[in-house]
């Protein structure tokens, strides 16, 4: 199956842009290692509803709405390392399913 | 991502607190440390605490020692810096990704970032420490700021 379109991931965190920047970079790097090209966008948790429609997946370090019609992964794995492999697998799976 | 060698953590920004009362006291003491040095404005503590109450920064780690990374908006910061408190007895912080969950925290990194996009490196270095459960354990039983610096230095 040839996925032509570059996948888009919305990365959200509280208010500071730092956490979502770090997570976005790590996701891009890890997905590239798996041969998946992704684009990331960052926003605050409160802004997620505004940006959700243009992306394939939402990854957040804080609670965000899960009823926006897009898969949501809420995780600290990119900060703490706990469950990181699982989360990467989940992300890969979610991107392949779109 | 290339992790540069040294975390911008100075020995004088490390506090060992035997028996802190609560999370607020820890954050206050760390904030005061940075305020005295001129790294943050007097408004910093209230901003950090307000944020912590609305968007907690507790991080659940591998073992049973957890951490928190309180921080505030950049307008309250003069110079980017980090202050670290190691607690003899844990205090409760709410979990960042699940605010209903209380975590017993013994490592508190107060992050003063003046340009969030650039200070991603600071956060990355803190994350690297937190991902090393052996290091976290050893830090939690450190008996001096000097020892903490040595342990973190060894990580490179």
In this predicted model, what pLDDT tens digit does every residue of B116-127 receive, in sequence order? 776 788 888 899
Contacts with B60 from chain A: Cβ below 8 Å = 76, 80, 82
Q: Which residue of B has its CA nearest to A79?
A: B127
Instruction: Tell me if A56 sits within 8 A of A93, measured CB to CB.
Output: no
ipTM tops 0.85: yes
In a domain, A19, yes or no: yes
Q: Does the pLDDT value for residue B25 go beyond 50?
A: yes
Distances (CA, A) of B152 to A6, A83, B7, B27, B61: 39, 23, 8, 21, 17
Q: Cβ–Cβ of A74/B131 closer than 8 Å?
A: no
Q: A89 lies in which domain range?
A: 7-97
**Residue B114 distance to chain A (closest CA, Å):** 10
| Count of CA atoms in the C-beta half-sphere (13 A) of A15 | 16
Structure tokens at A40: 């990331």
Give the per-residue pLDDT at B9: 84
Computed over every residue of chain B, the mean pLDDT equals: 91
Contacts with B122 from chain A: Cβ below 8 Å = 18
Q: Which residue of B has its CA nearest to A44?
A: B55
| Residue positions of A annotated with a catalytic role | 13
Which CATH number characterizes residue A61's domain?
Answer: 3.40.50.2300
* Exposure string over B73-84, b if 16+ CB within 10 A, otherwise e: bbebbeebbbbb
A83 secondary structure, DSSP code: T
Q: Which residue of B has its CA nearest to A15?
A: B73
Q: Does the pLDDT value for residue A3 go beyond 70?
A: no
CA angle B143, B145, B146 (to 5 degrees): 95
Q: Does the pLDDT value for residue B138 go beyond 50?
A: yes
Q: Does the pLDDT value for residue B3 go beyond 60?
A: no
- What pTM was estimated for this model as a whole? 0.91
Give the per-residue pLDDT at B21: 97
Mean pLDDT of B105-111: 97
Which comes out higher in pLDDT, residue A82 or B7?
A: A82
In a domain, A1, yes or no: no
**Residue B69 distance to chain A (closest CA, Å):** 10
Q: Check CB contact of B96 with chain A, cutoff 8 Å.
A: yes
Q: Check CB contact of B88 with chain A, cutoff 8 Å.
A: no
Domain count along chain A: 1
Give the per-residue pLDDT at B115: 80
Q: Does the pLDDT value for residue B6 go beyond 50?
A: no
In a domain, A12, yes or no: yes
| Plot region of A69 (φ>0 → left; ψ -120 to 50 → alpha; else → beta) | left
- What percent of chain B clears pLDDT 70, i.e. is strictly above it? 92
Q: Cβ–Cβ of A75/B97 closer than 8 Å?
A: yes
Q: What is the pLDDT of residues B57-87, one digit of tens each?
A: 999 999 899 999 999 888 999 998 999 999 9
Residue spans of the domains in chain B: they are: 11-154
Q: Check CB contact of B60 with chain A, cutoff 8 Å.
A: yes
Rounded CA gap, A73 and B15, in Å? 35
Q: Which of A21, A62, A80 sits opposite B117 (nearest CB)?
A: A21
Give the per-residue pLDDT at B26: 98
Mean pLDDT of A21-35: 94
Spell out the residues 6+ positions from residue A78 whose beta carbon is closer than 8 angstroms to its own. Answer: A22, A23, A26, A27, A61, A84, A87, B127
Give the per-residue pLDDT at B120: 83
In a domain, A45, yes or no: yes
Q: According to the CATH classification, is domain B11-154 in 1.10.150.80?
A: no
Q: Which of A16, A17, A74 sits opposite B97 (nearest CB)?
A: A74
Q: Cβ–Cβ of A15/B127 closer than 8 Å?
A: no
Contacts with A74 from chain B: Cβ below 8 Å = 97-98
Structure tokens at A37: 């090209």
Q: Does the pLDDT value for residue A82 go beyond 60?
A: yes
Residue with tokens 């990854």: A59
Q: Which of B97, B116, B131 sits opposite A21 (nearest CB)?
A: B116
């Amino acid at each position: 199956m040839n996925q032509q379109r570059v996948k888009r991931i919305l990365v959200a965190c509280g208010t500071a842009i730092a956490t979502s920047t770090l997570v976005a970079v790590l996701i891009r790097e890890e997905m590239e290692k798996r041969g998946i090209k992704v684009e990331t966008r960052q926003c605050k948790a409160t802004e997620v509803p505004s940006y959700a429609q243009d992306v394939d997946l939402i990854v957040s370090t804080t609670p965000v709405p899960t009823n926006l019609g897009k898969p949501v992964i809420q995780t600290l794995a990119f900060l703490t390392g706990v469950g990181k492999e699982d989360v990467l697998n989940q992300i890969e799976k979610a991107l392949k399913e779109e | 991502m290339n992790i540069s060698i040294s975390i911008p953590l100075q020995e004088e920004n490390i506090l060992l607190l035997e028996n802190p009362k609560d999370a607020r006291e820890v954050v206050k003491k760390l904030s005061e440390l940075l305020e005295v040095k001129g790294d943050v404005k007097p408004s910093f503590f209230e901003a950090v605490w307000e944020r912590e109450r609305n968007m907690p920064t507790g991080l659940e780690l591998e073992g049973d020692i957890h951490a928190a990374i309180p921080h505030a908006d950049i307008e309250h910061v003069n110079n980017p810096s980090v202050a670290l408190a190691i607690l003899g007895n844990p205090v409760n912080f709410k979990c960042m990704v699940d605010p209903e969950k209380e975590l017993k925290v013994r490592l508190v990194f107060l992050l003063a970032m003046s340009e969030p996009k650039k200070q991603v490196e600071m956060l990355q270095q803190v994350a690297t420490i937190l991902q090393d459960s052996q290091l976290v354990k050893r830090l939690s039983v450190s008996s001096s700021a000097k020892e903490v610096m040595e342990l973190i230095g060894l990580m490179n």
